[in-house]
Amino acid sequence: MTVSIALFTQDLRLHDNPVLHAARTAADQVVPLFVLDPAVEAAGFAAPNRLAFLADCLADLDASLRRVGSRLIVRRGATAEQAAKVAAEAGAGTVHVAAGVSGYARRREAALRALFGERLHVHDASVTVVPPGRIAPAGRDHYAVFTPYHRAWQQAPHRTVLGAPRAIRTPEEIGSENLVISGPFSPSLPRGGESAARERWRRWDVAAYADVHDDLAADDTSRLSPYLHFGCLSATELTDRALRHGGPGAEAFVRQLAWRDFHHQVLAARPDAARRDYRARDDRWHHDEREAEAWRQGRTGYPIIDAGMRQLAEEGWMHNRARLLTASFLAKTLYLDWRIGAAHFLSLLVDGDVANNQLNWQWVAGTGTDTRPNRVLNPLRQADRYDPDGAYVRRWVPELAHLPGPSVHRPWLLAGDYPAPIVDPQDLTARFRHGRP
Ligand code: FAD
């Protein structure tokens, strides 16, 4: 009787899971293992919202595994040590795990390698569609610009989508621990897990995506980001399904999945881009904790910015257009260090992801991969364009809900006690223009 371990990380699903597939192929019995590693907490990455979502994911994964005759084993501790302990208990010969791109994922893989050597099998194309490093411009280790990356990504072979296993045999008598989580949590978090993810994908219509994805009030993007972050859905399967669907909506959606891969391959090549400027611009950041706090609280006096920040607090999620606006407001208009904003996002986002969050922040701040690093998004023009009737603001800023139409974007022109704008609406780029050499 041979036994293998399928070590779940950012791939909390049964469908299209190369790690689980390989573990099943390699042995008669499989131990599906998830380790709650205190190193994630120590790195400040175990935000309550994501832990709540993770708890749903693990419960759903366990239920799905039980339906096919198995169950999830949860352990707490250093991942490699726990995997070695379980391997000894179960007599497992091999360990299968998905390749990750963060500094933590690399350290975890190195620790697993040190303990398991050749018995460790790392599977790429589990988290991303195209594995980081698989495509690169001549003489470089990664793409630094999205458009040529996207072209190469479209040409690159994508692996075949795998079905969900119908039966898995798991050794008896391997103990499991419970995940204990504590808040504070955002009040309206989405439900985690593969079942919820697949239900969301079934209910959502990709056809309209190209037309509505920037419409803040329509709120009709896929909202699959937390499921993609925890791997409740595979990006490869989504790409495959969308390409089969076809049409402009599906194409635009697949392009966003390519952005996800793009940021992963940048982080894989430059892990320090999680904290350091990818391209330093000699910024002389402005320092003002009072302003940073007004931004965090959604009290900048700019309702479109405040609406985004309040959606983040309430749902642990924010519309992409609102992320762009709130990030540009912090890093360009207020000209505060992008790391302040990125840290706040990571403390709340249920999809908070080192690659996507830090590199999108850097893109907006002009220290990342944007080919126009000095662009500034004017919050008022953006509000008029992407929330033309003001419905998004009225939804998230109840004290302005009585204001009709687009007048809600400029409360300082009307009587009322909404906070005054923290920077002059006539000169929204002053600090950035003077600060960046
Ligand atoms: P859809 O529009 O339906 O797109 C489908 C999927 O494509 C998303 O679920 C996501 O996985 C991927 N995607 C879409 N846009 C991007 C993008 N710009 N970069 C990378 N992948 C993308 N996304 C995260 O998953 N985690 C983060 O921590 C995160 N932080 C961000 C911070 C800032 C400042 C900005 C501007 C963007 C950030 N994004 C992040 C990207 C994007 O805003 C979200 O992925 C998207 O809003 C999630 O909503 P959705 O699932 O409805 O996306």
353 Cα to the center of ligand 1, angstroms: 9
Q: Which atom of ligand 1 is nearest to the CA of 262?
A: 20
Q: How confident is the model at residue 40 (pLDDT cuts 50, 70, 90)?
A: confident
CB of 347 within 6 A of ligand 1: the answer is no
If one counts every other C-beta atom within 10 angstroms of the C-beta of residue 148, the result is 12
Q: Where are the domains of the chain?
A: 3-126, 128-157+196-269, 289-435
Q: Identify the CATH homologous superfamily for domain 3-126.
A: HUPs (3.40.50.620)
**Residue 403 scores a pLDDT above 80:** yes
Nearest residue CA, atom 36 of ligand 1?
Answer: 324
How far apart CA 393 and CA 49 sit, in angstroms, is 24
242 Cα to the center of ligand 1, angstroms: 17
Percent of the chain with pLDDT over 90: 94
What integer is the mean pLDDT of 356-364?
A: 98
CB of 324 within 6 A of ligand 1: the answer is yes
**Residue 437 scores a pLDDT above 90:** no
pLDDT score at 46: 86
CB of 200 within 6 A of ligand 1: the answer is no
Query: What does pLDDT average to over the chain?
Result: 96
CB of 228 within 6 A of ligand 1: the answer is yes
What integer is the mean pLDDT of 215-232?
A: 98
pLDDT score at 196: 98
Q: Is 8 helix (H, G, I), strand (E, B) or coil?
A: strand
In what helix (H) or strand (E) does residue 434 lie, and over which residues does it extend?
A: helix 430-435
How far apart CA 317 and CA 323 sit, in angstroms, is 9
Nearest residue CA, atom 45 of ligand 1?
Answer: 225
223 Cα to the center of ligand 1, angstroms: 9
Just give the CATH number of 128-157+196-269.
1.25.40.80
225 Cα to the center of ligand 1, angstroms: 6
- How does pLDDT run across 266-301, given as a tens digit for each residue? 999 999 999 999 999 999 999 999 999 999 999 999
Nearest in space to 80 (alpha carbons), one of 112, 107, 102, 109: 112
pLDDT score at 180: 84
DSSP letters spanning 50-106:
HHHHHHHHHHHHHHHHHHTT---EEEES-HHHHHHHHHHHHT--EEEEE---SHHHH
- How does pLDDT run across 88-125, given as a tens digit for each residue? 999 999 999 999 999 999 999 999 999 999 999 999 98
Q: How confident is the model at residue 181 (pLDDT cuts 50, 70, 90)?
A: confident
26 Cα to the center of ligand 1, angstroms: 35
pLDDT score at 251: 98
Q: Identify the CATH homologous superfamily for domain 289-435.
A: DNA Cyclobutane Dipyrimidine Photolyase, subunit A, domain 3 (1.10.579.10)
Backbone angles phi, psi at 36, to 5 degrees: -85, 105
